[in-house]
Amino acid sequence: MKSLEELKKLREESIKNIEMRNTDKDIRVVVGMATCGISAGARPVLTTLVEEVAKRNLGNVQVVQTGCIGMCTLEPIVEVYTADKEKVTYVHIDPEKAKRIVSEHLVNNNVVVEYTIGSAEKQ
Amino acid sequence: MKIFRSHVLVCGGTGCSSSNSALIKQRFEEKIKELNLDEEIQVVSTGCFGLCEEGPIVIIYPEGSFYARMTVERVDEICEEHLLKGRIVRKYLFDESAREEKIKPLSEVEFYKKQKRVALRNCGVINPEDISEYIARDGYMALGKVLTEMTPTEVIQLVKDSGLKGRGGAGFSTGMKWSFAAPNQADQKYVICNADEGDPGAFMDRSVLEGDPHAVLEAMAIAGYAIGATKGFIYVRAEYPIAVHRLEIAIKQAKETGLLGKNLFNSGFDFDVEIRLGAGAFVCGEETALMQSIEGKRGMSRNKPPFPANKGLWGKPTIINNVETLANVPQIILNGPGWFKSFGTVKSPGTKVFALGGKINNTGLVEVPMGTALREVIYDIGGGCPNNKEFKAVQTGGPSGGCLTKDHLDIPIDYDNLTAVGSMMGSGGMIVMDEDNCMVDIARFFLDFTVDESCGKCTPCREGTKRMLEILDKITEGKGTMEDLDKLEKLAINIKETSLCGLGQTAPNPVLSTLKYFRDEYEAHVLEKRCPAGVCQSLLRYIITMDCKGCTKCARICPVGAIEGKVKEIHVINQDKCIKCGACMDACTFHAIIKK
Ligand SMILES: Cc1cc2nc3c(=O)[nH]c(=O)nc-3n(C[C@H](O)[C@H](O)[C@H](O)COP(=O)(O)O)c2cc1C
Ligand code: SF4
Ligand code: SF4
Ligand code: SF4
Ligand code: FES
Ligand code: FES
């Protein structure tokens, strides 16, 4: 180890994996992972969300899975809970859409309206 | 670096390991592989979570689900439900966290709520065998800061300002100790970490080493820089194989990462650490005996002065610090003395780790701010005595400490307060006793320990403690006199004043404190030949009550023919013949025989 900077870089890298063990976070992203969710492709959605959140060091976002959400035809479903605002439910999500949710909703706080359950029902 | 979506933390502390946590971890790994989740889920072995009573413990993140009393059989179900489908298996969660509709997070469980974790901050949080997890938790940042931004004098001043006192028992200011060694000129100086931990019932230091070994290494390097030492030794008992193993891995990884060795942080400072195994003699925890043991001699205490800071290991300036003391140091450097003083009391800042044991519901490891009342530790965190038994006493400070009563429960714990009431902080053992414990027997237990462990160098300790033990034996056998009680007290005071080292100087404390607070129990043994708690075997009496139906069963079962009586008449036990085997009491179907 030659400098404090080198150590700090190592820390930034290492934090990404371990950050998950801190449960005290403001934003929760929940992915439905019961049988229908998994068969509709929820697993890659979940892993994409985890990776994107870690890559961007979003320390206040927790990505968890849950069981049946109750809307099997709309799977994969992703719900975003924030402390102050109402829950946002995204439906028919795939890994690419998941990336957009991270960059637009979680980073910039702009809901990706076209993926939400509201616009899905209108169609 | 690979990112996992979920982490399964399995406790690999000594407590949980002894109840097979290694097999549980192995089953998780197998099952996760079977389910094709091994790319997504990481299984990690950690140090002690503290709540050993509820072990083996498994915590699953990101949810932070706290599974208690785990078994290998439960693993598959948890994998299929929780890990695969995201459904937490409530029935296996720690009781308290699943009692209400909403699952309680770990930090709000009673056991953890009042704790403040500084020395234990990484225990049960990181994988102690992976240096990158320590680094992720700001590991080695304090060393980096010290080496690149501070002079040795500034480091010592900062530690002094924090008010940190030695957690190994004596409570001496750590900064002062370092400042004594720093100015001494020598071709070689040493830093020693005392991980001997000889108190029966204590396992604080073991847990720190098992759960967070790098914190100790980092602190030793900081101490080395502060006093100008380039070499460190960790003296740890051979009975701590897991701790030794993790330390070895930690030292190896620190060397590979360039955090131990030559020219650290390009500062020109070199530091290396070696492990020395102790054979487990209690006296070897005493600093002068410990150094002799490292030098390869028989561990015996010697007179001070000279102090280790002037003439220590191989005659060179040396500082010796306890594991827990050291574990606080990196945090103090990073957060500053003001932060450290923001918890604890004015005279004893910071926190203290205690090993809770004896008659208490939540045996385990707790860390609380100094100044926390005994009551909070024993009741709020420890959950009180099991089976609704009444609390009687708490023993702090191990064989050097004393017993305190319910009258002391509201005392804020710190060094001065405990000493003032005749006990000691000691290293942090805390053994709770209930109505079923005999205080004379407890005093005897600790004295028996010190008699065994006395190194034999000085007479008061070698002979005096033996004489005390003989008197205690007499008392527990019902042969004691009131003069014996006085003699016991006089001997005790004498030994305290004239012994050469701390072992002898504190050995009488358990006797003195029980004599002071539980004299009535001693007197019951002496005057009434009665053990109020019903512990001392030779004072027990088996008695047949009026409930006797005269069935003759007991008379036939008694191995020494001590029971007499006619059919259908109340039987009687001849106390002179009875050998107190208890067979009659077990045999009587009418519960007519009692023990008093
Ligand atoms: C009989 C006896 C046993 C001791 N055992 C230990 C021990 O197991 N661990 C420990 O850290 N200190 C023990 N000590 C205290 C050490 O002598 C020394 O004070 C301590 O390691 C200094 O570190 P500290 O200032 O960080 O507390 C013992 C002292 C005596 C008299
Ligand atoms: S007090 Fe006991 S342990 Fe200490 S030097 Fe004397 S005999 Fe040895
Ligand atoms: S076994 Fe019980 S009931 Fe029968 S004689 Fe003995 S004490 Fe009496
Ligand atoms: S305790 Fe044992 S020895 Fe005494 S009376 Fe009962 S059976 Fe006999
Ligand atoms: S199983 Fe997925 S919503 Fe019902
Ligand atoms: S050893 Fe597992 S909780 Fe203490």
Same structural domain, B309 and B325: yes
**Alpha-carbon distance A73 to nearest alpha carbon in chain B (angstroms):** 17
Counts of helices then strands in chain A (DSSP H, E): 5, 4
Interval between CA A76 and ligand 1 midpoint (Å):
60
Same structural domain, B259 and B392: no
Q: In which domain, by residue range, is B552 found? A: 541-595
Which ligand 1 atom is nearest residue B289's CA?
A: 17
Whether A123 shows a pLDDT value over 70: the answer reads no
Question: What is the per-residue pLDDT for A66?
Answer: 87
Which ligand 3 atom is nearest residue B563's CA?
A: 6
From chain A, the residues in CB contact with B214 under 8 A are none
The domain that contains B135 carries what CATH number? 3.40.50.11540
Q: Quick check: B85 and A15 CB within 8 A? A: no
Q: Which stretches of B26-125 are assigned E, i.e. beta strand?
A: 41-46, 58-61, 65-67
Return the number of other C-beta atoms located less than 10 Å from residue B222's C-beta.
27
Question: What is the per-residue pLDDT for A122?
Answer: 65
Same structural domain, B394 and B453: no
Mutate to test the pocket of ligand 1, among B287, B288, B424 (most ligand atoms within 8 A of CB): B287
B104, closest residue in chain A (CA to CA): A23
Beta bridge partners of A31: A65, A78
A12, closest residue in chain B (CA to CA): B136
On whether residue B39 sits in a domain, the answer given is yes
Is the C-beta atom of B580 inside 6 A of ligand 4? yes
Cα B378 → chain centroid: 15
End-of-domain residue from the set B434, B468, B493: B434
Q: Quick check: A50 and B4 CB within 8 A? A: yes
Same structural domain, B473 and B406: no
Beta bridge partners of B273: B232
B149, closest residue in chain A (CA to CA): A4
The domain that contains B499 carries what CATH number? 1.20.1440.230
Q: Quick check: B258 and A1 CB within 8 A? A: yes
Cα B463 → chain centroid: 29
End-of-domain residue from the set B434, B457, B477: B434
Cα B499 → chain centroid: 26
From chain A, the residues in CB contact with B144 under 8 A are 1, 3-4, 7
Question: What is the per-residue pLDDT for B1?
Answer: 65
B8, closest residue in chain A (CA to CA): A21
Side-chain-facing half-sphere of B424: CA atoms under 13 Å: 23
Q: Which strands form B364-369's sheet, in the order they lie side by side? A: B364-369, B351-358, B429-434, B391-396, B402-404
Q: For chain B, what is the domain count?
A: 5
On whether residue B1 sits in a domain, the answer given is no
Cα separation, B394 vs B387, in Å, equals 17
Is the C-beta atom of B278 inside 6 A of ligand 1? no
Is the C-beta atom of B11 inside 6 A of ligand 6? yes
Cis status of the peptide bond prior to B559, with omega within 30 of 0: no
Cα–Cα nearest to A29, from A79, A100, A98, A71: A79
Mean pLDDT of the residues in chain A: 88
Q: Quick check: A3 and B266 CB within 8 A? A: yes
Q: Quick check: A33 and B85 CB within 8 A? A: yes
On whether residue B345 sits in a domain, the answer given is no
Q: Quick check: A13 and B132 CB within 8 A? A: yes
Ligand nearest to the Cα of B397, by number: 1
**CA-based angle B177:B178:B180, to the nearest 5?**
70
Q: Quick check: A7 and B140 CB within 8 A? A: yes
On whether residue B120 sits in a domain, the answer given is no
State yes or no: ipTM above 0.90.
no
Q: Are B471 and B488 in contact (CB under 8 A)?
A: yes
Same structural domain, B443 and B557: no
Domains and CATH numbers, chain A: 28-122 (3.40.30.10)
Q: Quick check: A7 and B135 CB within 8 A? A: yes
Interface subset of B 17-56, CB within 8 angstroms of A? 40, 42
Same structural domain, B68 and B93: yes
Same structural domain, B40 and B160: no
Q: Are B442 and B433 in contact (CB under 8 A)?
A: yes
Same structural domain, B68 and B135: no
Cis status of the peptide bond prior to B62, with omega within 30 of 0: yes
Q: Is B150 exposed, middle or buried (0-12, 13-18, 19+ CB in 10 A)?
A: middle
Cα–Cα nearest to B57, from B8, B130, B105: B8
pLDDT digits (tens, 9 = 90+) for A39-83: 888 999 999 999 999 888 888 899 998 887 777 788 899 999 987
Interval between CA B196 and ligand 1 midpoint (Å):
8
Interval between CA A43 and ligand 5 midpoint (Å):
13
Give me the residue from A32, A34, A64 closest to B62, CB to CB: A64
Walk along chain B (596 residues) and give the pLDDT tens digit of each residue.
Answer: 678 999 999 999 999 999 999 999 999 999 999 999 999 999 999 999 999 999 999 999 999 999 999 999 999 999 999 999 888 999 999 988 888 888 887 888 889 989 999 999 999 999 999 999 999 999 999 999 999 999 999 999 999 999 999 999 889 999 999 999 999 999 999 999 999 998 888 999 999 999 999 999 999 999 999 999 999 999 999 999 999 999 999 999 999 999 999 999 999 999 999 999 998 889 999 999 999 999 999 989 998 899 999 999 999 999 999 999 999 999 999 999 999 999 999 999 999 999 999 999 999 999 999 999 999 999 999 999 999 999 999 999 988 899 999 999 999 999 999 999 988 888 889 999 999 999 999 999 999 999 999 999 999 999 999 999 999 999 999 899 999 999 999 999 999 999 999 999 999 999 999 999 999 999 999 999 989 998 898 888 899 999 999 999 999 999 999 999 999 999 999 988 998 888 999 999 999 999 87
A31, closest residue in chain B (CA to CA): B86
Q: Are B192 and B294 in contact (CB under 8 A)?
A: yes
On whether residue B508 sits in a domain, the answer given is yes
pLDDT digits (tens, 9 = 90+) for A8-18: 999 998 888 88
Question: What is the per-residue pLDDT for B18?
Answer: 93
Is the C-beta atom of B504 inside 6 A of ligand 2? yes
Give me the residue from B1, B64, B85 closest to A67, CB to CB: B85
pLDDT digits (tens, 9 = 90+) for A77-104: 999 998 777 889 999 999 999 999 999 9
Strands A27-32 and B190-195, bridge-based pairing: unpaired
Amino acid identity, position B592: A
On whether residue B123 sits in a domain, the answer given is no
Which ligand 1 atom is nearest residue B167's CA?
A: 27
End-of-domain residue from the set B339, B363, B386: B339
The domain that contains B559 carries what CATH number? 3.30.70.20
Which ligand 1 atom is nearest residue B202's CA?
A: 8
Strands B351-358 and B429-434, bridge-based pairing: parallel
Same structural domain, B463 and B573: no
Beta bridge partners of A65: A31
Helices B213-227 + B174-181 axis angle, to 10: 50
Which ligand 6 atom is nearest residue B11's CA?
A: 2
A32, closest residue in chain B (CA to CA): B86
From chain A, the residues in CB contact with B2 under 8 A are 17
On whether residue B121 sits in a domain, the answer given is no
Is the C-beta atom of B593 inside 6 A of ligand 2? no
Cα separation, B193 vs B368, in Å, equals 23
Is the C-beta atom of B581 inside 6 A of ligand 4? yes
On whether residue B215 sits in a domain, the answer given is yes
User: pLDDT exceeding 70 applies to what percent of chain A?
Assistant: 96
Give me the residue from A2, A11, A34 closest to B135, CB to CB: A11
Question: What is the per-residue pLDDT for A77?
Answer: 92
From chain B, the residues in CB contact with A46 under 8 A are 5, 40
Q: Are A57 and A16 in contact (CB under 8 A)?
A: yes
Residue whose Cα lies nearest atom 4 of ligand 3: it is B551
Is the C-beta atom of B347 inside 6 A of ligand 2? no
Q: Are B450 and B397 in contact (CB under 8 A)?
A: no
pLDDT digits (tens, 9 = 90+) for B268-320: 999 999 999 998 889 999 999 999 999 999 989 998 899 999 999 999 999 99
Residue whose Cα lies nearest atom 6 of ligand 2: it is B458
From chain A, the residues in CB contact with B257 under 8 A are 1, 10
Helices B213-227 + B152-162 axis angle, to 10: 120
Mutate to test the pocket of ligand 6, among B10, B44, B48 (most ligand atoms within 8 A of CB): B48
Return the number of other C-beta atoms located less than 10 Å from residue B73's C-beta.
9
Same structural domain, B410 and B504: no
User: In chain A, how long is the greatest CA-to-CA distance?
Assistant: 59
Same structural domain, B196 and B143: yes
Q: Quick check: A50 and B3 CB within 8 A? A: yes
Same structural domain, B469 and B386: no
pTM of the model as a whole: 0.89
Q: Quick check: B266 and A2 CB within 8 A? A: yes
Return the number of other C-beta atoms located less than 10 Å from residue B110's C-beta.
14
Q: Are B59 and B106 in contact (CB under 8 A)?
A: yes
Cα separation, B242 vs B230, in Å, equals 26
Query: Residue written as tokens 């949080």?
Result: B125
The domain that contains B24 carries what CATH number? 3.40.30.10
